[in-house]
Structure 1
């Protein structure tokens, strides 16, 4: 046991040292390929049927099978005390990615490079929460998380709409100094004395909650903690790694470069359905780290309806319908294209930005359990595509289908294998902008022979011992950056994840 645990921790420490070694003072402090001339990356309220990974009673509590280090049901390095009014835990996620050389007729400043390359990223998080009172019907949680990130993405996280490592959304080369990831006030208002159990976690400490309730959250958070959750495709620590597999690529959700924002949300939960809505801050510039605090002119509104109802008897199923509407200092591709054509120059969308510009869209998200171990999931997303991609990635439409399978049948209940295919697209004006040589905050080959960017990803996650997991992952990218003149590209990954 001691030899195994020492070996495992040495492997993790080695990856951390490699991530630290990648920091280079000569490299840019952030991947901001185009900057305006004027200017200087989980669901606590759901308690029925499908829950996010940190709330699932089945996750981490199934018996059966022995890991190399002992009981396969133990999924943290140290036990968490039960029934306490405080929470303290942590995680570290290391991803080593490598790319093989691939065919490319040309490449520009924002291209996914066609040479061989490897990069290592690391994200570590310390979760803290306290519950001031014992009230069930009117419960309050105070949440505070710290985070640190090191390492880089392949090609400085440029050149792909569906980038291969979700951790670099929160780690865009901004340095290794720890930062505040979340601070939230979570308030529950019960509408009935009837209660239901919940598994305490770092977003909600109570062991039971009212069956019908309203929940409020206000503070700094990341929207994918509460919107667009999918149990089989939302966790880059143990599942898929691609941006547009773990999140809806067409959902340009309000966020700074690291993926966080400030704002508030309200949620109504009933026995088989939920309704949530929130309003959040937008960055000053596309992919920017600084937020525009004038909510009257810049904000992102998000709403979601969730129905927990299965298509198959005695199985679990969930459907979610999402909408968003962002107002920010955004430009339009058509204005930039028309000016560039008339003046025989390259388009620059930042020259045509307007305060209060509106970008909107919707998403569909579904998950269906087929057997005890097999689940299918899918997403569809669309946005209007006329205004610039601003906060998440350069996708105007996306279609995703995938599945995962748990290893219980071969005696490893915490192991999982997954497969997903996602196809992303952009609208005609966006295509023309890139063809004329324009640069977005992620894309820009200098030219474009348009084709849908289609990605196939597969992974296997191995529960090694207690809270230590290892994964291997392979991604095939057809038409990287929507360009038929480049690719296909292959990316392989190795991941080490530890939960404390």
Structure 2
């Protein structure tokens, strides 16, 4: 990009276009672990107790174009090749590799991850700047502005950002640190949606609102574009501050989804009233359970509402040390529709840049995360039910907890190598199984 600027083909101070790319390869391995039972009575969503290897390889191209004053168009085609642990089953809020998708395969799959329009209306205020970056054109920026985004993108491109725990291609590997594990944000099986969002910036404050399309079926790929009846809404209020000379931010986030989904207690009641309405007899959308004595959500899906509220904090302690905390409570009455199997979640940790040991561009991070289930969700699993990710046939409930530690090494420009260790207690919230250790290596390249 700099070479083009030197030749007068590209203005890095006021970009009309830009182009970036990234490639990331993550390899994970877990040794065998202890389990009192696995896939009990034909319930199919246990993490295998045997040693397993998993990998993901992704490539993304990012193109940005300034189409008219304030109007920007972005396109990001992406490729993924993957092999999950246990077919991506058996972990709740702590899936070990955030890149894993519900419809991926070992064969490379290309798709359009993002194609959207962003319109900015400036109202003055202190002059700021956007630096050139993927999905961001460099240029002047008013501190008082309205930004409207419409198209195909991820909800997390706009909501619930955190500088120390969000960009998992550079930070933690576990999905518990990508966002609130209990944030069942609207997304297809690859993590993307189509929607409309508005962001109103006024000095240190930002208000965000968005409505996005949900999948036609839970954890599935096709989207339901009937967004007046079935949708995912979110509201976020952000305040940026300086505390003892160091930058920080606090974000409050609430979401409300209306989708065709089942309630845990309704599935249990349906089985008690009519034993023929069991998991093995499901004819609609289901998760392939053969447990004839278990309840299943397929019998009770109808329009229901799911809500949650959470807080997201980031704070620099020094120029090289940053800390973060996220916590969310969802109502926990309905099934997992788009994200992870968690009804409440907490994550916290710290990232330290390597200037303290003479490696200023390296980073070490330590994070802890815990997820919980509602009482009715636990009752459903205890009877042998399954959701999109978990179900061992029964359960001795405990919170699923994990520690994620990484060291990111920056040997050359645009190249980062990361070693990662995760210790996961009570996988799928089941104290009869685990703990599980996961060892990971990541290679990340930017162009």
TM-score of the superposed pair, with normalisation by structure 1: 0.81
- Structure 2 Cα separation of the partners of residues 80 and 149 of structure 1: 32
Could you tell me whether the CA contact under 8 Å between 1:130 and 1:142 is conserved in 2? Answer: yes
Q: Which moved more, 1:171-180 or 1:224-233?
A: 171-180
Could you tell me whether the CA contact under 8 Å between 2:426 and 2:432 is conserved in 1? Answer: yes
Could you tell me whether the CA contact under 8 Å between 1:143 and 1:202 is conserved in 2? Answer: no
1:342 Cα shift? 4.2
Q: Superposition pairs for residues 323-472 of structure 1, below 5 Å?
A: 323-344=254-275, 345-355=293-303, 357-472=304-419
- The equivalent of 2:207 in structure 1 is 275
1:82 Cα shift? 5.5
1:81 Cα shift? 5.3
- Structure 1 Cα separation of the partners of residues 16 and 417 of structure 2: 32
Q: Per-residue displacement from partner, 1:94-124 (whole Å, max 9, x unpaired)?
A: 0000001111011111111110011211111
- Structure 1 Cα separation of the partners of residues 196 and 367 of structure 2: 33
Q: Per-residue displacement from partner, 1:139-193 (whole Å, max 9, x unpaired)?
A: 1111111000002221121110110000003763395231111011000001126
Q: Which moved more, 1:375-384 or 1:166-175?
A: 166-175
Could you say if the C-alpha distance between residues 170 and 182 of structure 1 is closer, same or farther in structure 2, counting changes exceeding 3 Å?
A: farther
Could you tell me whether the CA contact under 8 Å between 2:332 and 2:343 is conserved in 1? Answer: yes
Could you tell me whether the CA contact under 8 Å between 2:12 and 2:138 is conserved in 1? Answer: no
In structure 2, the gaps of 5 or more residues are: 1-9, 276-292
C-alpha RMSD of matched pairs (Å): 1.6
In structure 1, the gaps of 5 or more residues are: 1-78
Counterpart secondary structure, 2:99:
helix
- The equivalent of 1:141 in structure 2 is 72
Which one has a larger percent strand, Structure 1 or Structure 2?
A: 2
Q: Per-residue displacement from partner, 1:18-65 (whole Å, max 9, x unpaired)?
A: xxxxxxxxxxxxxxxxxxxxxxxxxxxxxxxxxxxxxxxxxxxxxxxx
1:411 Cα shift? 2.6
1:409 Cα shift? 2.5
Q: Per-residue displacement from partner, 1:230-252 (whole Å, max 9, x unpaired)?
A: 11110111100111122100100
- The equivalent of 2:61 in structure 1 is 126
Could you tell me whether the CA contact under 8 Å between 2:13 and 2:138 is conserved in 1? Answer: no
Could you say if the C-alpha distance between residues 438 and 389 of structure 1 is closer, same or farther in structure 2, counting changes exceeding 3 Å?
A: same
- The equivalent of 1:21 in structure 2 is none
1:204 Cα shift? 2.8
Aligned pair 1:166/2:98, yes or no?
yes
Could you tell me whether the CA contact under 8 Å between 2:14 and 2:140 is conserved in 1? Answer: no
- Structure 1 Cα separation of the partners of residues 319 and 133 of structure 2: 24
Could you tell me whether the CA contact under 8 Å between 1:152 and 1:171 is conserved in 2? Answer: no
- Structure 2 Cα separation of the partners of residues 372 and 123 of structure 1: 31
TM-score of the superposed pair, with normalisation by structure 2: 0.90
- The equivalent of 1:44 in structure 2 is none
Counterpart secondary structure, 2:268:
helix
* Equivalent of residue 145 in structure 2, options 204, 213, 223: 213
- Structure 2 Cα separation of the partners of residues 303 and 442 of structure 1: 27
Q: Per-residue displacement from partner, 1:329-385 (whole Å, max 9, x unpaired)?
A: 101000111222344531001210003x10010111001111111111101011101
